[in-house]
Structure formats: structure tokens, C-alpha cells
Amino acid sequence: MCRCLEVSRSGYYRWRGRLPSARTIREIRTIEKIRETFAEFKGRYGAPRIACELQGLGEPCSRNYVAKLMQQEHIKARNGKGFRYSQPVEGSINVSANLLKRCFDVDRPNCRWTSDITYIWVLDR
């Protein structure tokens, strides 16, 4: 296999038996802290918040570094529930009956008046 890959045997065995580099050790330590912080905040924190938490704990890291490690480890924050609009109750109580029922034809002027007051601002809103 070393011959096919054009790698010396001694280089392969040296690579296989070497200790992890300082970069790899830092990456493993940071991943563990990311997992702890992620679990502590119930999976709600993404890379920016986790980076702030780790910096607060004295772990030097950037948001991009944390995002890269989270992506490698398939860690993804849960999104919050979406906002659902519900009509205010008081808006549906004081509704007048539809007297015209879209019948706008008249035989003389000033017998049916309509308007739209949705544009009027009210102080209590």
C-alpha cells in the first residue's frame, strides 16, 4: 500500500505512532466545551451565543471557529416556535352587522354611505 500511495514505510509508521498535535488537542477540548454549553442551554444556543459563553469561561475562540466545529460535529441549534398571529378578542366583539351585503346600487343620492376607518391611529394601540 505504501508503494501504491508513494509513501515511505518509515514515514507511514512515524505518522501512525505520533502524538496528537496541539491544534488537535485544542480542537477536541473546544468540542467538549461546545457540547457541554449546548446541553446546558438545552440546544437553543447557536454558534454566536456559544462563542460568547466560551469566551466568558476563558476559552479563546471566535464565532466562525465555533460554527465550523459545530458543523463538523453535526450540532445545530433548535429554532424557536414561530410567531402566530391571532386576532385580538376585542376586535371581533365590537363588529357591526353587514347591512349593505355588497349591494351598492341606489336609486337616489345620499342613501348609503360607506367608509374605511382602518387608517385612523388610536392612542391605546
- Domains of the chain, residue spans: 20-78
Is the full-model pTM beyond 0.75?
no
Express each pLDDT in 8-35 by its tens digit. 999 999 989 999 999 999 999 999 999 9
Rounded alpha-carbon distances, angstroms, from residue 71 to 81, 101, 122:
22, 58, 49
Q: What is the pLDDT of residue 71?
A: 96
Output the tens digit of pLDDT for each of the chain's 125 residues.
Answer: 889 989 999 999 998 999 999 999 999 999 999 999 999 999 999 999 999 999 999 999 999 999 999 999 999 998 777 777 776 666 566 667 788 888 888 888 888 887 776 666 777 65
Helix then strand then coil, in percent of the chain rounded to 5, is 45, 0, 55
Backbone torsions φ then ψ of 28, nearest 5 degrees:
-65, -45
